[in-house]
Amino acid sequence: MSRQQRDALDAVLRSAPRSERRPTPEEQRSGFAAAVTRPAPEGVVTCRTVLGGRPALELEPAEASGRGRLLYLHGGGYVIGSPDTHAGLVGELARRTRLRATSVDYRLAPEHPFPAAVDDGLAAYRELLASGTDPRALVMAGDSAGGGLSIATLLAAREAGLPQPAAVVVFSPWADLTLAGGSIRSKESADPIFTEADVRAYAELYVGAGDRAHPLASPVFADLTGLPPLLVQVGANEVLLDDAVRLAGRAGADGVEVTLEVGPDLPHVFQHHYGRLDEADAALERAARFLTTRLSSGRPGADHLKPVH
């Protein structure tokens, strides 16, 4: 893997201007969209839809297998981000898995604080099942806050008596809104994107004076028993490193099949940089293989589902 690529990316991320005052949510949303939005990859067709009562973006690769579905929950601290900002990342994962993906535009804080996002995630998941999607043919993924939200959605589904999907992948999950992980402070100088204050501000907007240790806000404190096979990918150079490590540890302790991957010298959700960072492409390939393998093992007749390069 290329040290030159990693160093160049770190320099670019550190060069982003930081305001002396904290931007409004609207300013953060527009700035984030301008900075990270990538279009869906060539050969992936997108269309607007509605799922669980919320707007959503459907992404279908040209080589879609016709079987299996991917439900994606985007990142952005529960305050910013959308299916449009993540069309490139989700489309790339859809292309590599050959699965039709749906990315949900769940409600954002502070206009819609916790547990609105969890309610929307659960509603989307519930509608997929109600419309006839076999849970053994369904996988989930999410990044950052969307990674924590993916786990929270599955916890809510478990409590509602719904079956679990075949597998779930989370990229750099934000899984502890109490900010108890040691890396929040120890990795601050290594992280080219976030400071502890940044993460704390998002937590305040999402949960406010509520219980930040609530299992659906901070899944590191949840009983994860019964959740599906889980892949956690995280960069070593991020303040949320310990969120990922502790989430994987909690899952393992609760009997969940879990794989943890820590990428040396990599930033938050480095998978966004596919096509220009070798580690991002390799991680997405492993994530695709993880998902399609679980689909294949979970139901008859699905052995043809293989990730594409």
238 catalytically annotated:
yes
The CATH number for 96's domain is: 3.40.50.1820
pLDDT value of position 238: 98
Exposure string over 109-141, b if 16+ CB within 10 A, otherwise e: beeebbbbbbbbbbbbbbbbeeeebbbbbbbbb
In a domain, 108, yes or no: yes
In a domain, 288, yes or no: yes
pLDDT digit string, tens, across residues 136-145: 999 999 999 9
In a domain, 186, yes or no: yes
297 catalytically annotated:
no
pLDDT digit string, tens, across residues 200-239: 999 999 999 999 999 999 999 999 999 999 999 999 999 9
pLDDT value of position 1: 54
Coil, strand or helix at 73: strand
Question: Which residues constitute the domain of residue 159?
Answer: 3-298
131 catalytically annotated:
no
- Report the percent of the chain where pLDDT is more than 70: 95
In a domain, 303, yes or no: no
Distance CA 73, CA 15 (A): 28
In a domain, 259, yes or no: yes
In a domain, 260, yes or no: yes
Q: Which of 82, 103, 144, 172 is catalytic?
A: 144
In a domain, 230, yes or no: yes
Report how many domains make up the chain.
1
CB 15 within 8 A of CB 88: no
Q: Is the omega angle on the peptide bond into residue 110 within 30 degrees of 0, that is, cis?
A: yes
Q: How far from 211 is each of 11, 122, 239, 259, CA to CA, in Å?
A: 37, 20, 21, 29
Terminal CA-CA length for the chain: 17
pLDDT < 70: residue spans in the chain: 1, 297-309
In a domain, 52, yes or no: yes
Q: Which of 82, 86, 150, 238 is catalytic?
A: 238
Model-level pTM? 0.95
